[in-house]
Structure 1
Amino acid sequence: MAPSPYLLSVTSRPTAVSDSLWQRWYTEEHLPDLVNSKTSNHATFYTEVTDQLNSAASYPRKFLALYQTDFAEPLKTENYTTLRTTSELFGKEGGKEGIQDNGDFDARNYELIQEFDSTKIGEEPSPYILTVEMHPQDASDFDEWYRKEHLDLLSKTPGYRRCLRYKLGPPMPAALSKGVSDPAKGLAESDGFVPAYLAIHEVDDLLASFGGKEAEQANGTPWTIKHIQDSKVFVARAWKLVHQERY
């Protein structure tokens, strides 16, 4: 099965309830709601992994939901706007019933530009992903680098499965990024600037794929170094799969 043409990416953090209840709400209610309404074809929920790759950066939103969808702006569809906006779960810890009153969200629309699947694994979710945001100076050369060199080298690392690459889609209304002082901030927290490209690398094991000599070789070529240095933003974050929903 091919991936959907569009992606809704939402990073979040609870502000009025515990992390455990936040995860419960996402996995028991929110992801099923979006899939059952056909807002999304396939939804996955992750928690950030910060210990394995020794990332020095720290970002406030430690949860990530990815919604594959047929809609360029899924949160503007009737499928989504008719969904429930409250949850009785939050009252269990003294939170308010309104969903937006219990958390801080940053939502972004993306359009698929490349699927790299040398293993032919398809839509079976991997236990870990690495999200990489970049904003190149030369978009054409950036695309060639990914297609002609970078993904081929990464696919030789142990446990590497697949990569889905996206470009930024229509901007999200500020009202849908409640709690964000600047709605452009979020996944990268990049001083109010949203990178134009997102790559999602799917792997079996973070250290096996990105901590060995094969990864060093893939990330040490002159072409790779050029684009990392030239990119206005380079943010790599690792995530562990918690739950998936599909129809």
Structure 2
Amino acid sequence: MSTGKGLLLVFSEVGNQLSEGEYNDWYDNEHIPLRTALPGFLSATRLIQTDGLKPTWGAIYDLSSVDFLQEDAYTALAKTRSEREASVLSRIGILDRRIYTLNEEALEIVSPEFKGNKEGMIVLVVSMDVEPDFEDELNRWYNEEHSEMLSKVPGWLRSRRYYLVDAAASGTLKQQVQEYKKPAKFMAVHEYKDIGPGLFDAEEFKAAISTPWRKKVWENNKNTERRAFKVYKTF
């Protein structure tokens, strides 16, 4: 499975002006199909939280590159959107849209067992910021220690790393939108088989987050975000 050079990550909360049924029908039968029909969209995966946090919903789109989002084929979607899509977008509680480009300095590590996202898989999204003079150290830690240790966790399938390009939030839940904090620059996406609640209790996982080097990285971490999702649907 090749990884595109761009990634679009969208978190969303239905809110109180839209039913979940209407939201899911729009997402599955209109919003995503219009995008996956475009050559720049390599895959689409819908997610639902497993960590008890909000936003509840997520979606990950693998892109050929972030530049595709500036091409006419994609920008035309906003200009020609249907009445239904315009209505849903005007009533949705939170739409948190983040654009990333692949960190090409990162090691590409994929289990031979990974055959694409499947319903029920676990997706862990971890973001952080560090000072500019610590960025090389962060990349070295991932490349020389952390990624390899994570690959030994039972159920691990793939890890990818990205840099934030742009982000914005909108929606009817105005207080949450007004309090929106720009996401961190560095993001890693880790995918696992669903091995139950013991994933984070596995000795291999505990070892990966307990080394002296990891402690040093976390002491320099300025803006952590860690979300756990389950794959809800693939397209």
TM-score interval, normalised by the smaller of the two chains: 0.7 to 0.9
- After TM superposition, the score normalised by the length of structure 2 is 0.84
Gaps of 5+ in 1: 52-57, 91-96
Higher share of residues assigned helix: 2
User: In structure 2, do the counterparts of structure 1 residues 77 and 158 end up closer, same or farther at CA, with 3 Å as the change threshold?
Assistant: same
Alignment match of 1:112 (pick from 95, 102, 112): 102
Contact 2:50–2:228 (CA<8 Å) still a contact in 1?
yes
CA distance in 2, matches of 1:40, 1:150: 29
Tell me the residue number matched to 1:99. 88
Q: CA RMSD in A?
A: 2.6
Is 1:158 the counterpart of 2:150 in the alignment? Answer: no
Distance 2:91 2:233 in 1: 21
- The equivalent residue for 1:29 is 30
SS of 1:41's partner is: strand
Count of residues in Structure 1 that have an aligned counterpart in Structure 2 = 223
Identity of aligned pairs, percent?
Answer: 26
Equivalent residue number for residue 207 of structure 1: 197
Name stretches of at least 5 consecutive residues in structure 2 with no aligned partner.
Answer: none
Change (3 A) 1:228 1:182: farther
User: Which structure 2 residues correspond to residues 135-150 of structure 1 after superposition, within 5 A?
Assistant: 135-137=129-131, 138-150=134-146
Quote the Cα distance in structure 2 between the aligned partners of 1:4 and 1:123: 15
Does residue 17 of structure 2 align to residue 3 of structure 1? no
* Equivalences for residues 1-247 of structure 1 within 5 A: 1-15=1-15, 16-50=17-51, 58-59=53-54, 61-83=55-77, 84-86=80-82, 88=84, 98-103=87-92, 104-113=94-103, 114=106, 116-121=108-113, 124-126=116-118, 127-137=121-131, 138-169=134-165, 171-172=166-167, 177-179=169-171, 192-205=181-194, 207-245=197-235
Question: What is the CA distance between 1:38 and its match in structure 2?
Answer: 2.9
Q: How much does 1:87 deviate?
A: 5.3
